[in-house]
Structures are given as C-alpha cells and as structure tokens.
C-alpha cells in the first residue's frame, strides 16, 4: 500500500465504465449486510481480523476508513491504499481485505488522524 500523489490524480481519470465495474466487483465481495449498508448509506462496516475492532469504509480512495469505538463513534481516520492508480471500488475492496486478513500490517502503514470527536471526548 502506498501514498503516491500521482496515483491519486490518475484515479480521477477512470471512465465511468471502469468505475462501475470496480463498484460491481466490490459488491460481489461484500456480505449481504455490507452490500445493503453500502447501497443505502455509501459505507459499510468491517471487523478487524486480528483485533475484532470495528471499521467503517466510506466510498472513496483516501482518508475513507474510520476506526470506531464500541458505541460506533469515530475515534480516528485511516489512510492506506494499494499502489497504483485504481478506481475507488478497487481501493475499497483492497482496504476491506487488508483489514479482515492483514489488520496489523495495514495499521502499521496507515496514515492516521484523530477525529475532532476524539479530542472533545
């Protein structure tokens, strides 16, 4: 996973067809509950494979993963993605797989930012 500004730019150049195919691939790999969440709210929840922590992946390709506390409140925002310019659906699928199968490694490379809510308590 990398934070390459050039790949962020290339991600915006995808055709609508490529974007749609990436979203369809993502949906094929979501559970029925995750698919419903994504279609209704534009995000879905993932349980970390190592810790069981709860994460919310929002539609997007950067700064779109949120770690939640037990009550569902955001405690920090994470930014990690695969190398290369990929459509948002492909990035979200990679983030889902990384958190489910390689959570510890994903967190080690992720850029993190605490939320305003975390500061305010």
For residue 11, pLDDT beyond 80: no
Q: In this structure, are strands 74-79 and 111-114 parallel, antiparallel, or unpaired?
A: antiparallel
Look at the alpha carbons of 17, 33, 104, 69 in this order and tell me if their dihedral is positive or negative.
positive
What's the whole-model pTM score? 0.84
Residue range 81-113, pLDDT digits in tens:
998 889 999 999 999 999 999 999 999 999 998
pLDDT digits (tens, 9 = 90+) for 29-80: 999 999 999 999 999 999 999 999 999 999 999 999 999 999 999 999 999 9
36 or 12: whose pLDDT is higher?
A: 36
Report which secondary-structure segment, H or E, holds 113.
strand 111-114
Given this model, what pLDDT does residue 18 score? 85
């Amino acid at each position: 996973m990398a934070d390459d500004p050039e790949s962020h730019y290339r991600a915006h150049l995808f055709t609508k067809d490529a974007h749609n195919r990436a979203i369809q691939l993502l949906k094929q790999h979501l559970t029925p509950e995750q698919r419903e969440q994504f279609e209704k709210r534009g995000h879905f929840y993932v349980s970390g494979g190592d810790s069981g922590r709860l994460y919310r992946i929002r539609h997007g390709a950067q700064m779109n993963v949120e770690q939640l506390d037990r009550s569902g409140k955001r405690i920090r925002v994470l930014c990690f993605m695969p190398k290369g310019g990929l459509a948002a659906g492909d990035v979200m699928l990679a983030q889902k797989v990384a958190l489910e199968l390689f959570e510890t490694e994903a967190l080690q490379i992720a850029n993190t930012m605490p939320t305003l809510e975390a500061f305010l308590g």
